[in-house]
Amino acid sequence: MKSMTKLVFAAFAAAAIPAAAQSPDTVNQGYLVDTRGGIVMSGFGLCWRTIEWTPARAVQGCDPVNRPVPVGAAPAQAPVAVAQAAPAFVPAPAPRPAVVPMRKKMSFSADALFAFDKAVLKPEGKVMLDGLVNELKTVSYDVIALTGHADRFGSDAYNQKLSERRVNAVKDYLVVKGIPANRMTAMGKGESQPETRPGDCKGPKNAKVIACLQPDRRVDVEVTGTEMGSSQ
């Protein structure tokens, strides 16, 4: 008797609750349906699930519907803004000094360096060579060529020996002052390379002619190396 009462009540309730208009593909989807195949909904908009209901049979309007994502398809993602760091300030490299080939030649009067017909440096001659040493400290030199010369008075052999003694005296003094000996060459040329021209100092040996031949008595210094200059 009680079972009959429940069935009658269920039938009455089903008839009393309006049915949602659904397409035929919603039949037997895990919800209670009416005789037309529509899902029965309560007055509060709720659907009744049957024991056959599974999440895969969920119907929009009754339950949230999660559609499967096709295999191999990545879910759409909102673009992520990537913060870009401001480029670091890199200072321009300082210009490198240019390396300039350098070749300097200077002559020292033998009369200023030595007494007449001598090969011993005078005090004033040492002062002159000290100035040369200070100048060499400001350049990068490779070779310092020292060449001694004599005037025409005297034999060729004597003048050759005198020019050699004098140029070696200059080299020895520069070594004492810190100039490396292996950076210097020293040779005597005797009277073979005069500065005066033939006929400039005519006459026998006397004070006037000796003074005229003064440019021939000398020690030449030629410096070869590099110096630093601006690249701009």
- Domain around 53: 2-57
Beta bridge pairs of residue 114: 121
Same domain, 117 and 194: yes
CB 227 within 8 A of CB 140: yes
Dihedral in degrees, nearest 10, Cα atoms 210, 147, 160, 171: 100
Alpha-carbon torsion 73, 75, 81, 87, what sign? Answer: negative
Strands 184-188 and 140-149: parallel
Same domain, 48 and 145: no
**pLDDT interval class at 153 (50, 70, 90):** very high
- Residue 223: is its pLDDT beyond 70? yes
**Res 59: pLDDT:** 78
**Res 128: pLDDT:** 94
Same domain, 170 and 225: yes
CB 215 within 8 A of CB 150: no
d(CA 148, CA 129): 15
Same domain, 106 and 52: no
pLDDT in tens, 55-106: 777 777 777 766 555 555 556 666 666 556 666 667 777 777 666 787 889 9
Same domain, 108 and 32: no
- Whether 84 is in a domain gets the answer no
pLDDT in tens, 124-146: 999 999 999 998 888 888 999 99
**End-to-end Cα, the chain, rounded Å:** 115
- Read off the pLDDT of each residue in 19-25 and give the average, rounded to a whole number: 43
- Whether 63 is in a domain gets the answer no
Mean pLDDT, the chain, integer: 79
- Whether 111 is in a domain gets the answer yes
**Res 131: pLDDT:** 94
Same domain, 134 and 50: no
**Beta strands across the sheet bearing 140-149:** 98-109, 218-229, 140-149, 184-188
pTM score? 0.56
Q: How far is CA 51 from CA 18, 120, 192, 207, in A?
A: 22, 129, 130, 143
- Read off the pLDDT of each residue in 13-41 and give the average, rounded to a whole number: 57
Same domain, 45 and 128: no
DSSP structural state of residue 151: -
Same domain, 120 and 199: yes
- Whether 79 is in a domain gets the answer no
d(CA 98, CA 232): 8
Same domain, 12 and 115: no
- Residue 114: is its pLDDT beyond 90? yes
- Whether 72 is in a domain gets the answer no
- Whether 210 is in a domain gets the answer yes
- Residue 27: is its pLDDT beyond 70? no
Same domain, 119 and 177: yes
- Whether 62 is in a domain gets the answer no
**pLDDT interval class at 40 (50, 70, 90):** confident
- Residue 110: is its pLDDT beyond 80? yes
- Whether 185 is in a domain gets the answer yes
Same domain, 193 and 139: yes
Same domain, 113 and 52: no
Total structural domains within the chain: 2
List the alpha helices (DSSP H) in the chain. 2-16, 110-113, 123-136, 156-176, 207-212
pLDDT in tens, 157-173: 999 999 999 999 999 99
Q: Specify the CATH number for the domain of residue 194.
A: 3.30.1330.60
**pLDDT interval class at 32 (50, 70, 90):** confident
